Amino acid sequence: MLQTVVLRSSDDLNHLPVIQCTSIVRCRACRTYINPFVYFVDAKRWKCNLCYRVNELPDEFQYDPVSKSYGDPTRRPEIKSATIEFIAPSEYMLRPPQPAIYPLLVGRLAVGQGIRIHTGGLRHVEELSGPVTG
């Protein structure tokens, strides 16, 4: 079996296409995001590359945010790049963002064997989220 691994430098993350739209195009059956491996049946429909369902394209997808023009949906960043950044509309948020929680588990055996716990980081966590117990 032949397998391929693609390695990218972290510089690529600084040049991600950023998409801000009112609807994020996903397959209606399996919820896969539209991606470079889908098949376009025509200018208004695409076939999912995972479940093969034919889906409708929203009119907004005809607009290319890079060239700021309407036309070919294959020019969209979602189709040209496998990695993109979405700025999702508020409808995608089920609840407000929750504060981060940093659980730390240290066994008595580890402490008994001389492993020291640096508590400076814990003080910073307490400042952000309240007292650390345990």
Cα 48 to Cα 37, 56, 109, 117: the distances in Å are 8, 11, 52, 50
Quick one: tokens of 94?
A: 């089920």
If asked whether residues 68 and 123 sit together in one domain, one would say no
- The model carries a pTM of 0.57
Q: What is the pLDDT of residues 19-43, one digit of tens each?
A: 777 778 999 999 999 999 999 999 8
pLDDT of residue 131: 56
Assigned domain for 80 exists: yes
Quick one: tokens of 17?
A: 């296409």
Assigned domain for 3 exists: no
Q: What is the pLDDT of residues 72-103, one digit of tens each?
A: 788 888 888 888 888 877 777 777 777 777 66
pLDDT of residue 46: 95
Checking phi first, is residue 127 left (phi over 0); if not, alpha (psi -120 to 50) or beta? alpha
If asked whether residues 83 and 116 sit together in one domain, one would say no
Q: CATH no. for residue 37? A: 2.30.30.380
If asked whether residues 85 and 103 sit together in one domain, one would say no
Assigned domain for 2 exists: no
If asked whether residues 87 and 24 sit together in one domain, one would say yes
d(CA 21, CA 118): 44
- Containing structural domain, residue 106: 99-134
Q: Which residues contact 46 (CB under 8 A, 6 or more apart)?
A: 34, 38, 39, 40, 54, 55, 57, 73
What is the count of structural domains for the chain? 2
If asked whether residues 79 and 123 sit together in one domain, one would say no
pLDDT of residue 22: 77
Task: Report the pLDDT averaged over residues 47-60.
Answer: 94
